[in-house]
Amino acid sequence: MTTALAIADAGYEVALVERNDTLGGNLNNIYFTAEGGNPQRLMRDLINRVVGNDRIRVFTRSEVVEHRGHVGAFRSVIATRVKSNPTPLRTNIEHGVTGVATGGQAHRGGEYTLGNDPQIVTAHELEEMLVNAPERIAAMKQIA
């Protein structure tokens, strides 16, 4: 979203494509920072700035399904899932650059018995517990 805002602030049109129903990506699930900042407020502010920017067109529930061209002259097709129609709505766009944010996921390997022992959780899972199930935190004996 920050890249979309920077490009729009420079005077260019932006098509922001989001696979999910809402903007924010992984930031939707981050509630705390080590410095004490408020990621949820940051996310809301960014979303409000993106949605309120006349140069940014937001496509939620969408994916780029075709992409061709060269630097300065690309053509892409965006497919948007519509709840009332099983066939995605297709939108053709012409654009000069393409930026891709793929998101990220925590590694779910078996190290340290992660996935085999309910007492072993990732930092993200611990944060979710702090926000949504504080009683589970109170029952914990040790956090390392």
Tell me how crowded residue 69 is: count the other CB atoms within 10 A of its CB: 13
Q: Is the pTM of this model over 0.85?
A: no
Which strands make up the sheet holding 62-70, listed edge to edge?
62-70, 73-82, 85-95
Of 5 and 29, more confident: 5
pLDDT for the residue 55? 96
| Confidence label for 141 from pLDDT (cuts 50, 70 and 90) | confident
Domains and CATH numbers, the chain: 2-95 (3.50.50.60), 107-144 (no CATH)
DSSP-assigned beta bridge partners for residue 57: 15
76 near 98, Cβ under 8 Å?
yes
